[in-house]
Amino acid sequence: MSSEQILALLPILVTSAASVVVMLLVALKRSHGLVFGVTVGSLLVALAAIGSSVSVMPQAVSSLLIMDRFALLYIGLILAATLAVALLSYAYLESRAERREEYYILLLLAAAGSEVLAAAGSYVSFFLGLEILSISLYGLVAYRRQTPLGIEAGVKYLILAGASSGFILFGMALIYAEQGSLQFAALAAAKGSSFDVVSLVGFALIVVGVGFKLAVVPFHLWTPDVYQGAPAPVTAFVATVSKGAMFALLLRYFIQLDLYQYGAVVLVFGIIAALSILAGNILGLLQNNVKRMLAYSSIAHVGYLLVALLASGPLAVSSVTFYLIAYFITNLGAFGVVGYLSSGEREAEEIDDYRGLAWRRPWVAGALTASLLSLAGIPLTAGFIGKFFIIAAGAGSRLWALLIILVVGSVVSFFYYFRLVLAIFREPDAGAQVPYPSASLAGGIALSVLTLLLVWLGVYPAPLVNLLGGMTSGLL
């Protein structure tokens, strides 16, 4: 490898090296604070390394990874989100009598796998990145291994993710057998105006696997249970980084192979998007558990993202990316508050746990309310601008049916978001008050930064929009 290639890979290299360093550190001395500090520091270094990688863009590193501006943008997003998850995890883990250090090794490895996914230019790196991410997540999801729910979530995720990996692998094998190449670019050059049967089956199998990871509707059954059983910061990671990395890959795949020209592909993704929006929002109405409610809401939000993905044209990539950033900030904020309020051995996941939050913890209540308003898409929050871009992109491509479903779904979603907001502002019960843990510095910093970003993007999105225009135009 040349020095330029190493420079281009620097963010991924730093993240991977950090996981090994943390592991060695744990072997020498178990100290939660030290491991936490090294993790946060290395994530910051990896973020800073993006600055030096920009100078050597675009760079194909062997045949596996394509480090272009698009990949770097998503790697930056993944690193920032992982940093937020790490900050939110500290107090959460500190209050639990479980070994804490392995968590950070797995978190860094999961981030490295996501980065590989965001930069994948071939099926080989696609699969390797996906598996690094999935296997780290098995450990993270089942991290509360002394609780039945945690183990159940881990087993469910293990079996279903394993099965979906099998689908993806078989699909790749079929496509390789037919096309003779694993590179996205070579596939794009070789493809004709229509798929042959074998490639079509292969592609369909890959869609199944990708759909599982994104938790879109026919493949969403694991989502509520895993979201509920996983520790709250891990749920935030699964909802944001894992989905975002997969979406980055899907976006690159769609654009590189120009899948827009195939009516069947667009139709399939359109149906998936419509089902996700409707089912996610309607099932969200039935939930009393905040984590399950947010799980269904995240299913619906991926549906919105697919609408933007299907809207081809210049606006599509930047509207998807903007919405994804807004979604990251919002969900990290919402799950961050759930983790922040979870004390000792139990999670603050029932709606009653939030009753009167505004009177007892006004700042945390403000952060959660802002996140919920952003999820609902109320003006002055990032979620509103994101939804605005999606509708603009969809209208530009005349996806009227999908847009109507999107609007209907959003209206339905108001009910359950505002149910929680209402609970927050209700008078607290005099008698049975759920004890909240004491405030933590790291979590508080993460929540305030997330909330500030959320409002800032909602009020003044122009700088980010311009940045995205420049970054995503460099795709390929």
Partner 1 sequence: MFPVFYVAGLVALVSTVMVVTRRNPIHALLYFILSLVAVAVIFLDAGAPFVAALEVIIYAGAIMVLFIFVVMLLNPGVALVIRAREWIGPAILSLLLTLGIVYSVVGSTIKTMGISATTPKDIAMALFGPYLLGVELASLLLLAGLVAAYHLGRRIEREAPARGASLQPGAPVGSGAPSSRKEGA
Applying CB under 8 A, which residues contact partner 1?
Answer: 16, 19-20, 23, 61-65, 97, 99, 102, 105-106, 109-110, 112-113, 116, 124-125, 128-129, 131-132, 135-136, 138-140, 142-143, 145-149, 151-152, 154-156, 224-225, 228-229, 286-289, 292, 344-346, 349-350
- Contact between 387 and 323 (Cβ < 8 Å): yes
Give min distance, CB of 257 to partner 1, in A: 21
Closest by Cα among 69, 176, 161 to 122: 176
Give min distance, CB of 350 to partner 1, in A: 6
Q: Which residue, 68 or 349, is less far from partner 1 as judged by CB?
A: 349
The 10 Å CB-count burial string (b at 16+, else e) for 8-33 is: bbbbbbbbbebbebbbebbeeeeeee
Give min distance, CB of 152 to partner 1, in A: 6
Q: Which residue, 66 or 311, is less far from partner 1 as judged by CB?
A: 66
Q: Which residue, 382 or 423, is less far from partner 1 as judged by CB?
A: 423
Give min distance, CB of 217 to partner 1, in A: 16
Longest dimension (CA), the chain: 70
Measured CA to CA, the distance from residue 318 to residue 222 in angstroms comes to 30
- Contact between 214 and 190 (Cβ < 8 Å): no
Measured CA to CA, the distance from residue 131 to residue 112 in angstroms comes to 11
Question: Phi and psi of 66, rounded to 5°?
Answer: -115, 110
Give min distance, CB of 94 to partner 1, in A: 13
Side-chain-side CA neighbours of residue 66 (13 Å): 22
Beta-bridged to residue 120, according to DSSP, are: 65
Measured CA to CA, the distance from residue 83 to residue 362 in angstroms comes to 25
Q: Which residue, 106 or 217, is less far from partner 1 as judged by CB?
A: 106
Cβ neighbours of 124 (radius 10 Å): 17
Give min distance, CB of 116 to partner 1, in A: 6
Measured CA to CA, the distance from residue 82 to residue 108 in angstroms comes to 8
Give min distance, CB of 345 to partner 1, in A: 4
Q: Which residue, 97 or 430, is less far from partner 1 as judged by CB?
A: 97
Going by C-beta distance under 8 Å and a sequence separation of 6 or more, which residues neighbour residue 9? 1, 53, 61, 65, 67
Q: Which residue, 224 or 386, is less far from partner 1 as judged by CB?
A: 224
Give min distance, CB of 340 to partner 1, in A: 19
Give min distance, CB of 421 to partner 1, in A: 20
Q: Which residue, 113 or 171, is less far from partner 1 as judged by CB?
A: 113
Closest by Cα among 298, 290, 146 to 232: 290
Going by C-beta distance under 8 Å and a sequence separation of 6 or more, which residues neighbour residue 110? 82, 132, 133, 136, 137, 140, 237, 241, 242
Q: Which residue, 9 or 255, is less far from partner 1 as judged by CB?
A: 9
Q: Which residue, 51 or 344, is less far from partner 1 as judged by CB?
A: 344
Q: What is the CA radius of gyration of the chain?
A: 21
